[in-house]
Amino acid sequence: MALSIEPPLRAMARPRTGRARLPRMAEIVADALRDSILSGEITVLPRLEALIDRFEVGPPAVREAMRILETEGLITMRRGNVGGADVHLPTPDRVAYMVSLVLQAKSAELGDVGAALRQLEPLCAAMCAARADRGETVVPELGRILEEQADAVGDVPRTLRIVDRFHEAIVIGCGNETMVLMVGALERVWAGHASAVYDRVEVEAPTPSVWKASLREHERLLAAIERGDPRAGELALKHLEATHAYMSTVDERRIVTASLTAARWA
């Protein structure tokens, strides 16, 4: 798709008087390209020469702009004769990874993530119950997931994946994009570490009776959402307290490790 640049941007890229410093020129180019990427206007960046001509700036400014976008994860440079760059829209998985990087830098414990989820996910459940269209948007998806969970009891790896999807569906179903992004990122961080715990040989996995109890709690939560019961949030909190209690006895003091988040959602 062709890349269009509005006239005011050209004026910024080439000041009438003096010469803007290179970092400023690179930022202007990066800002324009970033906006075009996020709006869906472009899916592949042109070659370096085309960008130089379009923005009427020197090669160093364009190269620096490309490095900025590559650092942000919005593009991947193609080296060699082909040139140009592939475009990548931001994803929830990347947000979760960045969150885990910050948490690891702060030496945050997994229990800290769990405490945040116990505050935020119940809000999402209550918001699901409050939706007038929950019967068409939230309830059917949760019902399908619970059917799979009932069929998977005893299969720990499969059950873990299904349980992750159930909690993810609760968050998505709240209907607020900001909550979906931020709470969803924390869900991914938690799920990545939980998977690592269950994969350890010395950790005894919950028995089928425990998974059945979890299924019953999910069913009660779904029923509350379906009837629009504002106590859905309370049920979600009780469920999280029970499931997080197991992790607290196993590995809650583990420091958040970004690589575990990346491995789980690769």
Residue 244: per-residue pLDDT: 86
Where do the CATH 1.10.10.10 domains begin and end in the chain? 7-87
CATH of domain 7-87: 1.10.10.10
Q: What pTM did the predictor assign? A: 0.79
Where do the CATH 1.20.120.530 domains begin and end in the chain? 92-264
Residue 7: per-residue pLDDT: 36
Residue 13: per-residue pLDDT: 45
Class of domain 92-264: mainly alpha
What's the mean per-residue pLDDT of the chain? 86
Directed axis angle between helix 177-199 and helix 232-250, to 10°? 30
- CA-CA distance, 195 to 73, in Å (whole number)? 26
Residue 10: per-residue pLDDT: 44
Which has the closest alpha carbon to 258: 121, 89, 113?
113
Low-confidence ranges of the chain (pLDDT < 70): 1-23, 80-83, 200-206, 249-253, 264-266
For residue range 28-82, what is the model confidence (pLDDT) as tens digits?
Answer: 999 999 999 999 998 888 888 999 999 999 999 999 999 999 998 899 987 766 6
Residue 60 carries which side chain, given as an amino acid letter? P
- Per the CB < 8 A criterion, the answer to whether 174 and 240 are in contact is no
- CA-CA distance, 80 to 48, in Å (whole number)? 12
